[in-house]
Structure 1
Amino acid sequence: MIFRQLFDPTSSTYTYLLGDGGEAVLIDPVYEHVPRDLALVHELGLTLLATLDTHVHADHVTGAWRLRARSGSRIAVSAASGAAEADSPLQHGGRIPFGSRHLTVRATPGHTSGCLTYVLDDESMAFTGDSLLIRGCGRTDFQQGSPQQLFASVHEQILSLPGACLLYPAHDYRGITVTSVAEERRYNPRLGGDVDVGDFTGHMNNLNLPHPKLIAVAVPANLRCGKPEGDAPTDTPDWAPLTLRFSGVWEIEPMALLERLNKVQIIDVREAPEFIDRLGHLHGATLVPLSELTGRMDEFDRSQPIVAVCRSGVRSAQASVLLTKAGFTKVANLAGGMLRWKIEGYPADSDPA
C-alpha cells in the first residue's frame, strides 16, 4: 500500500494519500494544494477515487470540489455535516474501498457534529481528524460541539483500537507527525490516563479560545465542499500544455515547446562552454548561467512566458523556482532538458548566440 503524509504550513493541516492497486483516496485535502496533490497522484500512477474529509473544517477550505472538477474524484463527507455537493454522504460503519484495501468509517462527533474517523481495514492506522490530536483534541465550543460526546467518541471509537494502531490527526502545531493508541491512552493529558468525563468537560468548557481566523470563510465554503462562489479559478496555465511536478515546478514537453519557440522567452542556465557543446542550445535562447540569474531578471519581459533550459532539467527547475518567486507568472521548465531534446531529434544551434 502507498501512504503519503502531506502538510499545509498555513493551517498546520495534514493531508493523507492512500493508494493500492492503482487506486487512491485523499483524506482532508487543502484547496490551495490541489495542484501539488494531483501531481503526486499522477506521478505515483494512481487514479483518485475519492476525497474524504474528517469534518467541516473551520481553519482552511477543503480541496474536495476542486479535485472533483480536475480529476472526477467523488466527494465523501459525513451525512451529519449537511454539506452540499457531496457525492457520498457517509454513515458510521460505512466502507470506502481502494484497490484491495478499504477504510471503515467511524462516527466520532464532539468536536463538530459531523466528525468521522477513518480506520484502515487491518486496524494498523486510523485518521482521526480533530477528534483526537497528538496529546490533545479538537475544541468543543462551536459547530454543535459537545465535550461529553467527544469524550465518548474518543474512548469508544478510537482508543478502543489496538494499542499498536498508529493515529494520524488532521493537524499538529508542533510538527509531530504520528502517535499511537497506546501512547494516547497513557499520555494524552485531556483524554488519557485516569481522566473521566467530568474532568474532561470541566477542562474543555474553560478553554476560552478565540475563534479560528478563517471560520467565517472556511465553514460556509466547506459546507459547499470547497466549491467557490461565482466562477471557479483555473489551475492550469493556459499559455501552453504544462505538467505540474510534485516539486511544484511546471514542465513543458519538448514537442510543445518546439511548437511555441517563437512565442516564449528561453533562458539557458548552463555555463558558457555547455551552451556550444555537442548538445547545443535552443534557437533564440539567452545564456544566463544559474549563478547570474537573480541579478539579470530585469532583462526579461514579465508579461511573456519563460521556459528555463539546462542539460537535464535540474538546474533549470531551480531557475523556474527563482523566477516564480521573483514574480514571473508564466514560467516552465523544459522536461528532460537538452538531453531529452536531442534524444527526440529536435534541432539545436551550436554556435554562440
Structure 2
Amino acid sequence: MPRKDTCKRRRIVLYAVRSAEFTTSDDRQTVYIVETDHDTYLFILFTSEVERNLYLYAREEEVSDEVKENFTNLANELSFDPEAITYLPKVPVPRRLPCLAPCDCPGDAPRVPSPPRRARPPDGLPRRPYGARSAQRQGLLFRQLFEAESFTYTYLLADPKTKEAVLIDPVLETAQRDTTLVKQLGLNLLYAVNTHCHTDHITGTGLLKQLLPGCRSVISRDSGASADILIREGHALKFGAFALEARSTPGHTDGCRTYVLNDQSMAFTGDALLIRGCGRTDFQQGSPEALYRSVREKIFTLPGDCLIYLAHDYTGQTISTMEEERTLNPRLTLPLEAFVELMNNSNLPKPKQIDFAVPANLKCGVQDVAV
C-alpha cells in the first residue's frame, strides 16, 4: 500500500502515487494523476450525498486503447463501472499533488476544476435516498426483516438479473418466513451469513439449508463455530454483479465480521456498531479495546454517507449513516480510556438465551434441525 501523509488542517490525504483526497461535510473528492509515456491525465472520483461519479479530463477520441485499459483497471479498483466514466475537456495537470482547498500545507497548488454537480434536493428532504428504494436504484434488491423476540434484523440482498441472493443474520423462528420470501421473489439463496456467534437467538442457517438446498452457511473462521464457509478478513461473497467484503471487527466477540457492499454504500455491522451504541464486551472473549479499534479502523473509515445496518435495535430505529455515528455515537466518540472504563462497568444482566443459543450457534448451519 502506498505511503500517505496527512495535512491535518484540511484533512487532505496525499498519496505518493500522485493522488489527493479532500473531504467536507457535503462531499468527497479524490484526485488521481495518471502518468503515461506520452501524456498525463487527471481523474476525479467525486462522491456526495446525491451522486457518485468518476470524471476523466480528456477527450475520449484522443485517448489510446492502452491508456483506456489502464483507466478501466483504476475504475474497477474503485468499484466503479468503467462504462460510466464521464469525459470532460482536458485541463492542465499540476506538477505537484493538488489540494482541493487553499491551505498552507506543502501540497498546496492551483485548484483542480470542480466536476459538474447535480442539483441538491430541496431543504427538508433527505439528501440521500434510504433503504430498499435506494438499493433498487443501484440495481440491488434489498429487504430489511425483523424478529420481534430478540429484536434481530435479518437482511436479504439479491441481484435481480441473476437472482443470486445472500441472507444476513437469519433467526431460527423466522427461517420459514425468509424461505417463503426467497421463493416468492424467485431467488437462488447462495449464502446464509452470520455476522458473529449470537447469544440472544439461534441462527436460522441450519433450517434454511434444508428448506433451500444449495444454500451454504457462513461465519468467521475466528468464531470457533462450524459452517460451510469459514470466512477470512478481506474475503468477498459474490452474488451476481454484487459482493460483500468481510472485515474483521472483533471486540464484541472474537469472530465478529462487518460486511461491506462492494460500492461501500452499505455496511452490515452486526453487534460491533449499533445506532448510538455498540455491542457489549463482557463475554465470548469480548474486549473493549479491540472493539474500539475495530470500529475506528475498520468501520468509521468508510464514507460518511455509507448506510449502517445493524443486527439489533431496541428503540425502533432501523438505519443510520457512518457520519452520524462518527459524530453522534455517545460511546465511540469517547477517548479510548473513557470507553474502556464505561464498557468494563456496564454491569449488564446475562443474556436470557446464551446457555442454549451459543452451543447451537457454534454448529452454525450444520446442525440437524427438524423441518
In the other structure, the counterpart of 1:64 is 205
In the other structure, the counterpart of 1:280 is none
Alpha-carbon offset, residue 181 of structure 1: 0.4
The answer to whether structure 1 residue 118 and structure 2 residue 256 are counterparts is no
In the other structure, the counterpart of 1:11 is 150
Structure with greater proportional strand content: 2
Say which of 212, 215, 218 aligns to 2:351: 212
In the other structure, the counterpart of 2:306 is 165
What pairs up with 1:66-215 in 2 under 5 angstroms? 66-71=207-212, 72-84=214-226, 86-192=227-333, 195-215=334-354
Higher-Rg member (1/2): 1
Say which of 33, 51, 55 aligns to 2:174: 33
Q: Which has the higher contact order (CA 8 A, sep 6+)?
A: 1
Q: How many residues align?
A: 229
Alpha-carbon offset, residue 227 of structure 1: 5.2
What pairs up with 1:317-336 in 2 under 5 angstroms? none
* 8 A Cα contact 1:111 1:139, kept in partner: yes
Give, as a single letter, the amino acid of the residue that structure 2 aligns with 1:232: V
Give, as a single letter, the amino acid of the residue that structure 2 aligns with 1:78: S
3-state SS in 1 of match to 2:243: strand
Deviations 1:288-334 (A, max 9, x none): xxxxxxxxxxxxxxxxxxxxxxxxxxxxxxxxxxxxxxxxxxxxxxx
Alpha-carbon offset, residue 68 of structure 1: 1.1
Q: Distance in 2 between matches of 1:164 and 1:46?
A: 29
The answer to whether structure 1 residue 233 and structure 2 residue 364 are counterparts is no
Any runs of at least 4 consecutive aligned residues in structure 1 with deviations exceeding 4 A, and if so which? none
Q: Distance in 2 between matches of 1:222 and 1:208?
A: 25
User: Unmatched 5+ residue regions in structure 1?
Assistant: 235-353
3-state SS in 2 of match to 1:122: coil
Give, as a single letter, the amino acid of the residue that structure 1 aligns with 2:252: H
In the other structure, the counterpart of 1:285 is none
User: Unmatched 5+ residue regions in structure 2?
Assistant: 1-139
Q: Distance in 2 between matches of 1:31 and 1:48?
A: 16
Q: Distance in 1 between matches of 2:366 and 2:303?
A: 38
Alpha-carbon offset, residue 66 of structure 1: 1.1
Alpha-carbon offset, residue 226 of structure 1: 4.8
Change in CA separation of 1:82 and 1:147 when aligned onto 2, cut-off 3 Å = same
Q: Distance in 2 between matches of 1:118 and 1:172?
A: 18
Give, as a single letter, the amino acid of the residue that structure 1 aligns with 2:209: R
Structure with greater proportional helix content: 1
Q: Distance in 1 between matches of 2:256 and 2:197?
A: 8
3-state SS in 2 of match to 1:77: strand
* Identical aligned residues as a percent: 57
Give, as a single letter, the amino acid of the residue that structure 2 aligns with 1:214: Q
Alpha-carbon offset, residue 133 of structure 1: 0.3
Q: Distance in 2 between matches of 1:184 and 1:225?
A: 30
Instruction: Compute the RMSD of aligned alpha carbons.
Output: 1.0
* 8 A Cα contact 1:135 1:188, kept in partner: yes
* 8 A Cα contact 2:207 2:370, kept in partner: no
Q: Distance in 1 between matches of 2:208 and 2:369?
A: 12
Alpha-carbon offset, residue 233 of structure 1: 2.1
Give, as a single letter, the amino acid of the residue that structure 1 aligns with 2:341: G
* 8 A Cα contact 1:221 1:227, kept in partner: no
Give, as a single letter, the amino acid of the residue that structure 1 aligns with 2:152: T
